[in-house]
Homo-oligomer: A and B are copies of this chain.
């Protein structure tokens, strides 16, 4: 039996993303609402998001698409080119990210929109890297934003329970 959570954590790591980076994005999103944010609680929330099957499927599909474009093995060279350029009007990356956020309700969606525009922390780094090197992070930066947005939303809902 495959442990898909472990697999996702390893895949994210391989692509330059540490779980702590995602927890830091979640902290950024919640900072205005809670004075006393403990990193362990945020990490906990990220791990919980990563335990959902639909999140895992989104992660492995997204990273596969980035890699296939990066390795230039796609059948459709126009699609490959769109992904390598991270074309602004291409939206399937955000659609898959929303598939994650939806599971955590409207706060997660709003969080995602905000961090996707603000490009905080690791998301800014991935975005830069995807534009200036041979790397393709077109899907990855949105996936990371969606996990952080979801972890922050989960955190907000639990805080007042």
Contacts and interface: CB of A to CB of B under 8 A. Distances in A.
Interface residues of A, number: 50
Protomer copies: 4
Contacts of A82: 57
Nearest to A117: B114
A88 B68 CA distance: 24
A107 to B, nearest CB: 7
8 contacts: A61-B79, A61-B92, A68-B68, A68-B75, A91-B105, A109-B109, A110-B113, A113-B116
A106 B78 contact: no
Contact of A91 (B54, B75, B78, B117): B54
Interface in A45-73: 53-54, 57-58, 60-61, 63-65, 67-68, 71, 73
